[in-house]
Structure 1
């Protein structure tokens, strides 16, 4: 038996990660939306525009730069800024519907403001008065927040290794992040980082800050154009006024966790809605009826197709109803936060998250069953619906939702407080 001879030469160094320059700040202030009705009208108008090249963007992994600029400049990224700071302060139900409308035509675009909106919520909950004035003004002017939250190699999703330490009158942050949705195309990158005691804070830094590198290495088969790749943080400095103690939102009862999960569920509901819409269109225009024993002259008269479409629509409406119900529960908890209301909101969102996950995946599978083999051809790119549904619903395991729902109703046990409930 022979053994390979080791090479005495030193191994070549791995190539350095190449960062991508960030976008320029908006040349003009964004539109400021003033009402719930206006927010929905703007979302519907944009969705019609975004739908046109959504399949092509997915096929080519083409980042939606122009579409994202139109999205944030429309004012929709500022609709949750409280009225006291110049925003519309829309209801959570309206927020959920806006995300559903956009996600139905392009779930990557629907997901991109997800973390931005969560950051706005955290600033509202735990930012100082000066921080609220400063960052809310940025948002209303059209500035986009990205995301540097999750880490690839930590023991659990909540085990953060990115650290900050005092540095003169400010702080310095070091670490590596992955699943950094929106960071590549953001104007500011909020970094979740912990202090020596392990307490999470939010370090908000400009996208072009020295030491901040955003790498476009997102290779997932779904949600292809969210650019959710790697953020390298090498001695990134920030002033004290750009550090927000977000751990406080989970020390006391707040809607921080339910809001984060609610937006996730709204994206999934949008994926389901868009998938079903495209299924119906394909069946009407292209699908053939089954052979003579079906007795149908068109695919739209096939009794089994009719049954399956009815089942899909019923389940979609049930999921959307639970999502709207959870929005009302969050609204009540936000207006008068206490243990009981926040727990009820978390459970309501968990219930919605289960059904939106299930209908998104079911709809994506049924599309091909009802449309037929020809629907699998690459020219249609209909598989993007399944890829997007499967990818986005993996954000957190719904199997744990069942456990917390059961504990709540059977044993009167409130769910834990963290970003995943």
Structure 2
């Protein structure tokens, strides 16, 4: 078969993807070697992000472009691979990847392209905390406010950030303009004057993720740091922008799934190595337990992979996305999150009954931190309402 520019480009893309996945596996092996010690130390992820940057993963996990970035499917595979070895670092990488899409979700095409090229060139680490659309809950006023000045704005307030708050290069947040009431999405370098970082301490799990609070005192925001306006309600939100929140939830599903897979793999290795309460041998009850846990993990994988494929198709569609499609995507993501959370908590608790080894409890602690603040019953009701009525607002509530 003759080689054409299209087939050559396809082969080149495949080769780049395989190389990226090999790099991810190498980094995962490196992280797994000292994961327990780093979890116990609970320090900010300075060393961990240096490993990601040195391996090129921060530059690689940006939106796909000409000879740069990673498509959604590949990015999620990398996130899960890292999360299985160290879920805190997987969490950092997941939020980095999704927030690196912020330009496409909120800004103009030209601004997004320029931002992504700079991010790759300078190997930025992204994090952030953009609030969901829930105006009815905002009884105490905004925690971040912008005041216009001759050029740009002045930003004041505080915001909790779940990862890399002390080591990120860009923090993406939304803030309310005190004059117009518009909600603007902006990016803030943590090194900017007036930014104070307060790391979270003594967390139950995800201790190396680098969570904390960012306090902003009269921080200058230039026009170039304003990514765009976030509408107040779902009805006025552009379809592609509406993918921002479910994209983050789905990336975190891959982190949670990585936790379940990592816990199951570690327990299996302990059983094979004789460091378990019951040795493999011919114990039918042990086979039954592992069969149950492996099936739960594989079921969650199937649901997450389906949501990932649908999300990838929606992201590929871009500005041509139909107005009704984001609701269907969000419903699948909410389903994936529900199934994965249940499976991960079950698997990580059961492996503690199978093996006795230091650090095995970290999987349950990490899964608990990532899933505790999203009520399953509320999400199931919202999924059911969408299934019956096709309600767009119901799905928005499901991922809140």
Equivalences for 1:66-81 in 2 at 5 Å? 66-79=47-60, 81=62
> Using a 3 Å threshold, how does the CA distance of structure 1 residues 206 and 313 change in structure 2: closer, same or farther?
same
Q: What is the CA distance between 1:419 and its match in structure 2? A: 9.7
Counterpart in 2 of 1:356? 340
Matched, 1:366 2:350: yes
Q: Secondary structure at the match of 1:112?
A: helix
Instruction: Find the aligned partners of 1:144 and 1:210 in 2 and give their Cα distance.
Output: 19
Over residues 287-320 of structure 1, what are the superposed CA-to-partner deviations in whole Å (9 max), with x where a residue is unaligned?
243xxxxxxxx34432112111101111101111
Of 196, 200, 219 in structure 2, the residue corresponding to residue 236 of structure 1 is: 219
Instruction: Find the aligned partners of 1:64 and 1:321 in 2 and give their Cα distance.
Output: 31
Over residues 300-346 of structure 1, what are the superposed CA-to-partner deviations in whole Å (9 max), with x where a residue is unaligned?
43211211110111110111111110011112222141133222211
Q: Secondary structure at the match of 2:248?
A: helix
Matched, 1:117 2:97: yes
Counterpart in 1 of 2:3? none
Q: What is the CA distance between 1:262 and its match in structure 2? A: 0.6
Of 170, 187, 192 in structure 1, the residue corresponding to residue 169 of structure 2 is: 187
RMSD between aligned residues: 2.7
TM-score (norm 2): 0.85
Q: Secondary structure at the match of 2:324?
A: helix
Counterpart in 1 of 2:6? none
Matched, 1:253 2:235: no
Q: Secondary structure at the match of 1:178?
A: strand
> Using a 3 Å threshold, how does the CA distance of structure 1 residues 407 and 385 change in structure 2: closer, same or farther?
same
Counterpart in 1 of 2:192? 209
Instruction: Find the aligned partners of 2:339 and 2:114 in 1 and give their Cα distance.
Output: 38
Q: Is the 8 A contact 1:33 1:75 kept in 2?
A: no
Counterpart in 1 of 2:298? 317
Q: What is the CA distance between 1:202 and its match in structure 2? A: 2.1
Instruction: Find the aligned partners of 2:217 and 2:14 in 1 and give their Cα distance.
Output: 37
TM-score (norm 1): 0.81
Counterpart in 2 of 1:304? 285
Instruction: Find the aligned partners of 2:387 and 2:198 in 1 and give their Cα distance.
Output: 44
Matched, 1:283 2:263: no
Q: Is the 8 A contact 2:75 2:97 kept in 1?
A: no
Instruction: Find the aligned partners of 1:35 and 1:114 in 2 and give their Cα distance.
Output: 20
Q: Is the 8 A contact 2:383 2:398 kept in 1?
A: no
Q: Which runs of 5+ in 1 are unaligned?
A: 1-31, 290-297
Counterpart in 2 of 1:200? 183
Q: Name whichever structure is richer in helix by fraction.
A: 2
> Using a 3 Å threshold, how does the CA distance of structure 1 residues 146 and 340 change in structure 2: closer, same or farther?
closer
Q: What is the CA distance between 1:203 and its match in structure 2? A: 1.9
Q: Is the 8 A contact 2:383 2:395 kept in 1?
A: no
Q: What is the CA distance between 1:417 and its match in structure 2? A: 3.9
Q: Which runs of 5+ in 2 are unaligned?
A: 1-12
Instruction: Find the aligned partners of 1:419 and 1:110 in 2 and give their Cα distance.
Output: 24
Counterpart in 2 of 1:293? none
Q: Is the 8 A contact 1:201 1:247 kept in 2?
A: yes
Of 73, 93, 104 in structure 2, the residue corresponding to residue 93 of structure 1 is: 73
> Which one has the largest radius of gyration?
1
Q: What is the CA distance between 1:80 and its match in structure 2? A: 5.1
